Amino acid sequence: MNSDITDSPWAGSAPPQNLAFVATNTPKAEEGLARLSQRYGNCPVGTADVIVCLGGDGFMLETLRHVMDRPVPVYGMNCGSVGFLMNPFDEDNLPERLVATQSAVLHPLHMRATCVDGGIHEADALNDVFLFRETRQAAKIRVDVDGRERMPELICDGVLVATPAGSTAYNLSAHGPIVPLSGNLLPLTPISAFRPRRWRGALLPSTATVTFTILETEKRPVAAVADFTEVRDVVSVVVRENRTRSVMVLFDPGQTLSERIIAEQFSA
């Protein structure tokens, strides 16, 4: 998910007036929804200048999936726990704050998974695409990049390709590198690799096409996941960045996704 950082869509113009508020089903988010709607109104999503998302990162990703390809930016307010994609919750002067935001245009990864039964499943992911073993047996996976075999056999619990924004999520938990948005790189990270034991993954150009081929599929079945889409019993999975799709996310000044990714690398 590479990103181009720019000023807000309203920089130098009047603040947006048509605000649509959406909230996850937690008491904190629902209470915030009621207060903000009373104060600023709550127009339908289809006619909104901006969508204000109240919740955590999971709900933010769900909201971004729903509005992808539509010319409406999303501004997140944290009513969850981590809130890496969110801004602090603040009711005051919201339209004026939206004018001062910076925007990031994000592009997802595309997964094309082929299953044992010949079925083909496709999905986009704003965070990551990962493969994971379905049973007690470790997975055996061949890794090709741009049609060239790079690893004939990776024995592991799984493997993932992350977007730069997603590099601070599952990828980081799997000891993968954090990638700045401006780097145009995709982390390829093993999950509990057994062989080669010392392999920690690779950084690939954002233009790369990664193909995972599952070895010994009957004995070692593998599932593939693209954000909210899970496909079981795959035999091959192709992952590439999808530049034909995009979504715009807004961040408060000094709190852009690039800044948060840099700051995360210096946190304890």
Question: What's the average model confidence in pLDDT over 134-144?
Answer: 97
Which residues does the annotation place in the binding site for NAD(+)?
57-58, 127-128, 157, 165, 168-173
The residues, ordered by sequence, that sit 6+ positions from 207 with a Cβ below 8 Å of its Cβ are 241
* DSSP-derived secondary structure for 54-107: EE-HHHHHHHHHHHTTSS--EEEEE-SS--TT-B----TTHHHHHHT-EEEEE-
Q: Which segment, 105-109, 198-202, 229-233, is predicted with the most confidence on average?
A: 229-233
How many Cβ atoms are within 10 Å of 42's Cβ, its own excluded?
18
pLDDT of 31 > 80? The answer is yes
**If you search the block for the tokens 């602090």, which residue do you land on?**
88
Q: Of 96, 83, 73, 72, nearest to 28 (Cα)? A: 83
Mean predicted confidence (pLDDT) in 137-156: 97
Annotated binding site: 57-58, 127-128, 157, 165, 168-173
Q: Is 4 a catalytic residue?
A: no
175 by DSSP, 3-state: which?
coil
pLDDT at 256 exceeding the cut of 70: no
Percentage of the chain lying above the pLDDT 70 cut: 93
Handedness of CA 120, 223, 210, 150 (dihedral sign): negative
Q: Give the pLDDT of residue 12.
A: 80
Average pLDDT over residues 140-159: 97
**Are 22 and 54 in contact, with CB atoms under 8 Å apart?**
yes
Which range, of 22-26, 60-64, 187-191, 213-217, averages the lowest pLDDT? Answer: 60-64
Walk me through the domains of the chain, giving residue ranges and CATH numbers: 3-107+246-264 (3.40.50.10330), 109-241 (2.60.200.30)
pLDDT for the residue numbered 255: 65
Q: DSSP character for 108?
A: -
Give residues with Cβ within 8 angstroms of 204, minimum separation 6.
145, 161, 185, 186, 187, 188, 210
pLDDT at 260: 66
Confidence of residue 55 (pLDDT cuts 50, 70, 90): very high
Catalytic residue among 4, 49, 57, 227: 57
Q: In the prediction, which pLDDT does 1 show?
A: 44
Whether the full predicted model's pTM is greater than 0.85, yes or no, is no
